[in-house]
Amino acid sequence: MARIALWARLRQLTVDDVERALVQKRTIVKTWSMRGALHLLASDELLLYLAGLMPTRLPREQRWIRGAGLKEEETTAMVLDALKEGPLTRAQLVDHLAKRLGTKTKDWFDGGWGRQTTGSNTSWQLVKPAVMRGLVCFGPSHGPEITFTKVDEWLREPQSMPAEAEAEDALVRRHLGSFGPADVSDLWAWSGVYVRRLRVILDRLGDELVEVDRGGRPGFLLKKDLRDLEKAAMDGGGVRLLPSFDPFLLGHRNRDHLVDRAHYKRVYKDQGWLAPVVLVDGRVAGTWSYDRGPKKLGVDVTMFSNFDRATRKKVTEEAQDLSRFFEAPEMAIRFH
């Protein structure tokens, strides 16, 4: 889904481009970040994002580990020791930690019904602090399995962790530059950072911000963006196929500007699941799914209201370019 999100923004992108950036050039990196969710981040901004999130995320993970009768500093050191020879799969990392921690890891392997597992939620919890500290990230996939690796050995350029306030301010500036106008509830929904902390950051940035009206709801913009936004003209007729969990759908707490209330639950589903959407002129006009074969891409589009001929043509063109991206020479599309 992250690859499709990049394709939706960067025309002529190929799957190989993404793989080269992720595994060979390592200019993007896969890690947990906003809301504790998995993201692709620019490698040269990795520690900036993590430092801005750390005051909220790290204490949460430390409390969980303390509740399990462990010390986070010790378990993080064990994770780093396990990865000193290179990337490990989750199962390999769990095996290493189990040998160090002994009986405390019994629940990692017992599925509750005599079923052997390769690691329960506990294994995620033990590696998360190392990720939030910017010490560990996801490495190259090992077949169908994920791997973890040390950041300082994975990234090409050495980095240093920025100061906390500097990183928090940068995180909020990036959000407002992409999603503004926005308020503190929007920032919380996007980042997962505590509201009280976000209010402090907005106060610090006060001279850089301007308050605007969003149809009865105030929101903040960066002053430096205001002139460009005032001069900008709406680009009518834009159509995009956005994947599930696309960042465009997650920048605000209130999403009335994106999707009609009548269709809200068809997009923002239970248990935090987001449907892939058809975006028409900046609003969600339907959902879609795809079936990818070795030589053919099948795309199914569910319209909230019947698309006119011009919109169907543009959606079809999008699907054709997605087929190119997936290197599938044939594409079939159905509208429902």
- Mean pLDDT, consecutive 10-residue stretches, the chain (336 aa), reads 94 91 95 93 95 94 87 94 93 85 54 40 80 95 89 89 96 96 96 96 97 91 91 76 96 94 94 93 96 93 96 97 94 97
Looking at the structure of the chain, the number of domains it has is 3
DSSP letter, residue 158: -
- Looking at the structure, do residues 327 and 206 belong to the same domain, yes or no? no
- Looking at the structure, do residues 11 and 146 belong to the same domain, yes or no? yes
Whether 159 is covered by a domain: the verdict is: no
Whether 247 is covered by a domain: the verdict is: yes
Domain that holds residue 282: 239-335
pLDDT recorded at residue 117: 44
- Looking at the structure, do residues 11 and 141 belong to the same domain, yes or no? yes
CA distances from 292 to 247, 329, 332 (A): 23, 11, 11
Among 87, 120, 154, give the residue marking a domain's end: 154
The predicted model scores a pTM of 0.88
3-state secondary structure of 12: coil
| CATH number for the domain that contains residue 188 | 1.10.10.10
pLDDT recorded at residue 125: 82
Closest CA to 138 of 33, 51, 210: 33
pLDDT recorded at residue 121: 57
- Looking at the structure, do residues 115 and 211 belong to the same domain, yes or no? no
Whether 111 is covered by a domain: the verdict is: yes
pLDDT recorded at residue 235: 64
